[in-house]
Amino acid sequence: MDDRPIGIFDSGVGGLTVVARVRKTLPSERIVYFGDTARVPYGTKSPGVVRRYAQQDAAFLAGFNPKLVVIACHTVSALAADLLRKKFTSVQFLDVIGPSVARAVAATRSGRIGVIGTAATISSGQYQKALKKADPAVRVATAVCSLFVPLAEEGWVSGRFVEEVADRYLRPMRAARIDTLILGCTHYPLLKRAIRRAAGGQVVLVDAAEEIAREARRFVQAGRMASSRPAAPPVLYFSDCAGTRGAVIRRFLRGGGCRLRRVSPAFLEEACDV
C-alpha cells in the first residue's frame, strides 16, 4: 500500500481530461493537479522557456511527495520529459508520448499514422521520432491544430464552424490516407466527434488521456502502490484562477467534485525554480 498522491500537471486546464481518466481508472487514488493557467499556452513558447516552466511545475508537485507524476502536457512531454527525469531522480514520471505511440503502432493496419498537436509539439519531432523508433516502417503525417485549444475551452465542440475548422486541419491526414490518428493535445478529446468526422469514420483515434491512465494503473499495480484510503476529490491548483470557471472545469473534468487552490507564479519562480 502507498497512500501518497498521484501528481498531474499541464500548462492549463486541458490536463483535466487526464485527471478525469486517471480518476476513473484508479478511483481510490488521491490526485493533486497543477495547471499553469497564468502562463498558458506552452505550445507557442520557445523550448528553453518550456523547460524552465516544466521544472518549476515538477518541483511544485514534488513537494507533495507523490508516488508518481504524470506529465499531461504534450509540449512538456516532447521538450522536457528527459530533463525532468534527470533533475528529479527521486520522482517517477510518466509522459503522454510513450503510451500514445505504443497504442498507435498496435492499432494501425496500413502503417500510416497521423499526429495533430500544438506548434511546439509537432515542431519538436518527438512523436515522429518515437513512432519511427517503435516501427521504422510507419509513415507519419502531422498537422498543427492551434485553434482546437480555444474552441475546447470556450465549449465550441460541435456545430458547423467547428466542423469547418476540423475539416481544414485534417485535410493533410485524409490526403495521407492515415488509418490511425494521435490526439497530441489534452484539449483535443473534447473535439473527438468533429475530429473523427473530418478524419474519416474508420480512422482510429488515440486519446492520450486514456492511454496514460492505463499506464498509470499498470505502474501502481506493478509496484503494489495502491492507496488504502477512501477516495477523495482531486485537489486542483492553478497559477491563475480567472480562466477556471466552474463550467470550464466541469467540461474537462466530466463530472465529480474537486477542491480548488491557487499558487502564484511568483512562488513558482522563487520557491520552485531549479
What residues contact residue 222 under an 8 Å CB cut-off, 6+ apart? none
Q: Which three cell numbers stand for residue 84?
A: 525532468
Q: Decide if 145 is catalytic.
A: no
Is residue 41 reached through a cis peptide bond, with omega within 30 degrees of 0 on the bond before it?
yes
Residue 59 DSSP SS3: helix
Distance CA 256, CA 241 (A): 19
Catalytic residue among 73, 145, 258, 272: 73
Residue 254 phi, psi (nearest 5): 60, 50
Among candidate residues 145, 185, 258, 272, the one labeled active-site is 185
Contact 229, 1 (CB under 8 A): no
Nearest to 169 by CA among 139, 133, 200, 195: 195
- Residue 159 carries which side chain, given as an amino acid letter? G
Q: How far apart are CA 152 and CA 247, in angstroms?
A: 12
Active site residue ranges: 73, 185
